[in-house]
Amino acid sequence: MQKQFLLRIEPVRKDFTLEGMTADERKTAGDHFVYLKSLHDEGKLVLAAQVFDPKGLWGVIIVNAADAVAATAILNGDPGIKAGMFRGEVMPTRVVFDMRN
Protein backbone atom coordinates (compact mmCIF):
# COMPACT_ATOMS: atom_id res chain seq x y z
CA MET A 1 0.00 0.00 0.00
CA GLN A 2 1.30 3.44 -0.93
CA LYS A 3 1.73 6.04 1.78
CA GLN A 4 2.66 9.69 1.50
CA PHE A 5 5.72 11.43 2.84
CA LEU A 6 6.79 15.04 2.99
CA LEU A 7 10.40 15.61 2.03
CA ARG A 8 11.57 18.94 3.43
CA ILE A 9 14.73 20.14 1.70
CA GLU A 10 16.79 23.22 2.30
CA PRO A 11 19.99 24.62 0.84
CA VAL A 12 23.10 23.92 2.86
CA ARG A 13 24.66 27.30 2.00
CA LYS A 14 23.24 29.90 4.42
CA ASP A 15 23.18 32.77 1.93
CA PHE A 16 21.66 30.68 -0.88
CA THR A 17 19.21 32.48 -3.17
CA LEU A 18 17.70 31.52 -6.52
CA GLU A 19 19.25 34.63 -8.05
CA GLY A 20 22.65 34.04 -6.46
CA MET A 21 23.27 30.44 -7.48
CA THR A 22 26.74 29.54 -8.67
CA ALA A 23 27.19 27.83 -12.05
CA ASP A 24 27.55 24.46 -10.28
CA GLU A 25 24.40 25.11 -8.24
CA ARG A 26 22.47 26.05 -11.40
CA LYS A 27 23.47 22.75 -13.01
CA THR A 28 22.52 20.81 -9.88
CA ALA A 29 19.20 22.69 -9.69
CA GLY A 30 18.51 21.67 -13.29
CA ASP A 31 19.31 18.06 -12.44
CA HIS A 32 17.02 18.35 -9.40
CA PHE A 33 14.18 19.55 -11.65
CA VAL A 34 14.72 16.66 -14.07
CA TYR A 35 14.67 14.25 -11.10
CA LEU A 36 11.38 15.70 -9.82
CA LYS A 37 9.91 15.39 -13.33
CA SER A 38 10.96 11.72 -13.44
CA LEU A 39 9.27 11.12 -10.07
CA HIS A 40 6.12 12.74 -11.46
CA ASP A 41 6.25 10.59 -14.59
CA GLU A 42 6.58 7.47 -12.37
CA GLY A 43 3.54 8.49 -10.29
CA LYS A 44 5.63 9.04 -7.16
CA LEU A 45 5.51 12.84 -6.99
CA VAL A 46 2.36 14.41 -5.57
CA LEU A 47 3.61 17.98 -5.16
CA ALA A 48 6.80 20.03 -5.26
CA ALA A 49 6.94 23.63 -4.05
CA GLN A 50 9.36 26.33 -2.98
CA VAL A 51 8.76 28.07 0.35
CA PHE A 52 9.92 31.68 0.50
CA ASP A 53 10.45 31.81 4.24
CA PRO A 54 12.01 35.10 5.46
CA LYS A 55 14.55 32.92 7.30
CA GLY A 56 15.61 31.24 4.06
CA LEU A 57 14.31 29.35 1.05
CA TRP A 58 13.31 25.72 1.48
CA GLY A 59 11.33 23.17 -0.45
CA VAL A 60 8.40 20.84 0.07
CA ILE A 61 8.13 17.62 -1.90
CA ILE A 62 5.29 15.19 -1.25
CA VAL A 63 5.83 11.69 -2.58
CA ASN A 64 4.01 8.38 -2.68
CA ALA A 65 6.15 5.58 -1.25
CA ALA A 66 5.65 2.19 0.36
CA ASP A 67 7.34 3.23 3.61
CA ALA A 68 9.80 5.65 5.20
CA VAL A 69 12.75 3.66 3.90
CA ALA A 70 11.51 4.04 0.31
CA ALA A 71 10.77 7.75 0.87
CA THR A 72 14.28 8.23 2.26
CA ALA A 73 15.68 6.50 -0.82
CA ILE A 74 13.76 8.98 -2.99
CA LEU A 75 15.20 11.87 -0.97
CA ASN A 76 18.73 10.48 -1.13
CA GLY A 77 18.39 9.94 -4.89
CA ASP A 78 17.87 13.65 -5.47
CA PRO A 79 20.87 15.19 -7.27
CA GLY A 80 20.72 18.19 -4.91
CA ILE A 81 21.12 15.92 -1.89
CA LYS A 82 23.82 13.85 -3.60
CA ALA A 83 25.79 17.00 -4.48
CA GLY A 84 25.54 18.37 -0.93
CA MET A 85 23.60 21.41 -2.14
CA PHE A 86 20.53 20.44 -0.08
CA ARG A 87 19.91 18.63 3.16
CA GLY A 88 16.57 17.08 3.89
CA GLU A 89 14.27 15.17 6.16
CA VAL A 90 11.39 12.75 5.64
CA MET A 91 8.08 13.00 7.50
CA PRO A 92 4.96 10.87 7.14
CA THR A 93 2.05 12.90 5.83
CA ARG A 94 -1.29 12.52 4.11
CA VAL A 95 -2.92 14.79 1.57
CA VAL A 96 -6.56 14.95 2.65
CA PHE A 97 -7.85 17.37 0.05
CA ASP A 98 -6.49 18.17 -3.39
CA MET A 99 -8.32 21.00 -5.13
CA ARG A 100 -7.03 19.92 -8.57
CA ASN A 101 -9.19 16.77 -8.54
- Give dist(CA 89, CA 10) in Å, integer: 9
Enter the pTM of the model.
Answer: 0.93
* pLDDT score of 89 more than 80: yes
**SS3 track for the chain:** CCEEEEEEEEECCCCCCCCCCCHHHHHHHHHHHHHHHHHHHCCCEEEEEEEEECCEEEEEEEEEECCHHHHHHHHHHCHHHHCCCEEEEEEEECCCCCCCC
* pLDDT score of 94 more than 80: yes
Higher local confidence (pLDDT), 74 or 95: 74
Residues 32-88 have pLDDT tens digits of 999 999 999 999 999 999 999 999 899 999 999 999 999 999 999 999 999 999 999
Set out the domains of the chain in order of their start, with CATH numbers: 3-93 (3.30.70.1060)
* pLDDT score of 95 more than 70: yes
Q: How confident is the model at residue 101 (pLDDT cuts 50, 70, 90)?
A: low
- pLDDT score for 31: 98
